[in-house]
Chains A and B, each alone.
Chain A
Amino acid sequence: MANDVNTFVFPEVMRTPTRFRHSLSKYRITINKSCNNCGLCVELCPYGVYSIGLKRPKSSNDHLCLGFPCGSNEFYCVGRCPQKAINININPAFEILGDRRWSADLLASTWHMAETGKIPHQDLNYKTGNSGGGFDKLRFVYQERDIPDGPDDEISTAIELNRSGDSRPKVTIPIPLYLGGMSFGSVSIVTMLSRVRAAQALGTFCCTGEGGYPDELKPYDDHIITQVATGLFGVREETIKRVRIVEFKYAQGAKPGLGGHLLGDKVTPKVAEMREAVAGSALFSPFPFHSVYSVEDHKKHVDWIKEINPRALVSVKVSTPTDVDMVTVGSFYAGAHIVQLDGSYGGTGAAPDIAKKNIAMPIEYALPKVHRFLLEEGIRDKITIIASGGIRTAYDMAKAIAMGADGVCLGTADLVALECIRCHHCESGRGCARGIATTDDELTSLMELEWGTQRIINMYEAWRHQIIYILKRLGMKSVTELVGRFDVLVHLDYVKQEEIEGEFE
Chain B
Amino acid sequence: MPVKYHIHTTTVPNRFQPITRSGVIAWEEGCLKCARCVKKDCVYKVYEKRGLDPRQMLDSLDSMCKDCFRCVQNCPNRLIQKGLNPTYKVLGDHYWTPEIISGLWFQAETGRIPVSGAGYGGSFSGPGFDAMWTDMSEIVRPTRDGIHGREYISTTVDLGRKVINLAFDAEGKIISPTPPLIEIPLPVIFDLLPWSPSRERITKVLLEGAKKLGTLAVVPETEWAYEMEPYLNEIILYLNNNPDHLDSTLLKGLRMVEIPDGENVIVQQKRLKERKPELVIAIRLCLNPKASERVLQLAGDGAEVIHLWADEYGLEQGDKPLFIKERLKEIHLSLVEAGIRDQITLIAGGGIAMAEHMAKLIICGADAVTVDIPLLVAMECRVCRRCKEGIACPVELDMVDPEWGSSRIRNLMAGWYNQLLEILGAMGLREVRRLRGEMGRAMFFEDLEKEIFAPMGKKGYVNG
Contacts and interface: CB of A to CB of B under 8 A. Distances in A.
A489 interface: yes
B116 interface: yes
B139 A330 contact: yes
A228 interface: no
A486 B463 contact: yes
- Select the residue from A259, A284, A324, A426 with max chain B CB neighbours within 10 A: A259
A250 B139 contact: yes
A439 interface: no
B182 to A, nearest CB: 28
Contacts, number: 288
Nearest to B73: A20
A23 B73 contact: yes
Interface string A416-436: 000011111111111001100
Contacts of B93: none
A185 interface: no
Contacts of B350: none
A443 B137 contact: no
B143 A287 contact: yes
B43 A259 contact: no
Contacts of A404: 464
A24 B73 CA distance: 7
The main secondary structure of chain B at its interface with chain A is loop
Nearest to A19: B73
A257 B140 contact: no
Contact of A258 (B114, B359, B425): B425
A334 B216 CA distance: 50
A321 B117 contact: no
B135 A322 contact: yes
Interface in A249-302: 250-251, 254, 256-259, 261, 284, 286-288, 292-295, 298
B423 interface: yes
Interface string A350-375: 11111111111110110011011001
Interface string B433-464: 00000001101000011011110111001111
Interface in B343-386: 354-356, 359-360
Nearest to B66: A425
A258 B82 contact: no
Interface string B79-94: 0011110000000000
B420 to A, nearest CB: 9
A249 B135 CA distance: 18
Interface stretch (B48-56, B120-128, B316-324): B120-128
A361 B143 contact: no
Contact of B139 (A136, A295, A425): A295
Given A20-B70, A287-B143, A421-B67, A354 B419 contact: yes
B68 A425 contact: yes
- Select the residue from B84, B422, B461 with max chain A CB neighbours within 10 A: B422
A491 B454 contact: yes
Given A425-B66, A434-B70, A21 B118 contact: no
B73 A420 contact: no
A343 B456 CA distance: 21
A487 B426 contact: no
Chain B, interface residues (CB within 8 Å), range: 35 or more
B124 A423 contact: no
Interface stretch (A2-10, A99-107, A164-172): A99-107
B75 A359 contact: no
B139 A424 contact: no
B125 A133 contact: yes
Nearest to B445: A133
Contact of A257 (B76, B84, B426, B461): B426
A116 to B, nearest CB: 18
A415 B119 CA distance: 12
Interface string B119-158: 1111111100000011111111111010110000000000
B118 A422 contact: yes
Interface in B403-436: 419, 422-423, 425-428
A358 to B, nearest CB: 5
Contact of A365 (B143, B452, B458): B452
A256 B123 contact: no
B137 A321 contact: yes
A348 interface: yes
A422 B120 contact: no
B97 interface: no
Contact of B118 (A23, A426, A490, A495): A426
Contacts of A137: 124, 453
A251 B136 contact: yes
B115 interface: yes
Interface stretch (A38-46, A67-75, A89-97, A453-461): A89-97
Nearest to B453: A491
The main secondary structure of chain A at its interface with chain B is loop
B21 interface: yes
A493 interface: yes
Contacts of B448: 361, 365
B10 interface: no
A284 B137 CA distance: 19
- Select the residue from B354, B356, B422, B456 with max chain A CB neighbours within 10 A: B456
A352 B145 contact: no
B254 interface: no
A35 interface: no
A357 B426 CA distance: 13
B148 A494 contact: no
B198 interface: no
Contacts of A259: 145, 147-148
A256 B44 contact: no
B84 A360 contact: no
B313 to A, nearest CB: 20
Given A284-B148, A321-B138, A360-B135, A424 B356 contact: no
A294 B464 contact: no
Contacts of B81: 92-93
B78 interface: yes
- Select the residue from B119, B440, B464 with max chain A CB neighbours within 10 A: B119
Nearest to A103: B121
A114 to B, nearest CB: 15
Contacts of B114: 352-354
Contact of A256 (B115, B136, B356, B360): B136
Contacts of B25: 92
A101 B118 CA distance: 11
Given A298-B139, A420-B118, A96 B67 contact: yes
A244 B401 CA distance: 63
A497 B103 CA distance: 40
A329 B451 CA distance: 20
A349 B117 contact: yes
Contact of B22 (A96, A254, A258, A345): A96
A425 B138 contact: no
A491 B449 CA distance: 10
Contact of A359 (B123, B140, B426, B464): B426
A485 interface: yes
- Select the residue from A18, A259, A318, A355 with max chain B CB neighbours within 10 A: A355
Contacts of A102: 121
B91 to A, nearest CB: 15
A307 to B, nearest CB: 20
B28 to A, nearest CB: 17
Given A286-B145, A292-B139, A425-B117, A96 B457 contact: no
A345 B122 CA distance: 9
Nearest to A426: B117
A500 interface: yes
B101 interface: no
Nearest to A62: B78
Given A92-B25, A284-B148, A360-B136, 9 more contacts: A96-B83, A257-B137, A319-B136, A322-B443, A350-B115, A425-B67, A430-B43, A433-B43, A495-B458
* Top 10 A-B pairs, shortest CB-CB distance: A257-B426, A133-B124, A426-B117, A99-B121, A257-B136, A490-B457, A433-B68, A20-B73, A424-B116, A491-B453
5 contacts: A353-B120, A365-B448, A443-B43, A494-B456, A495-B456
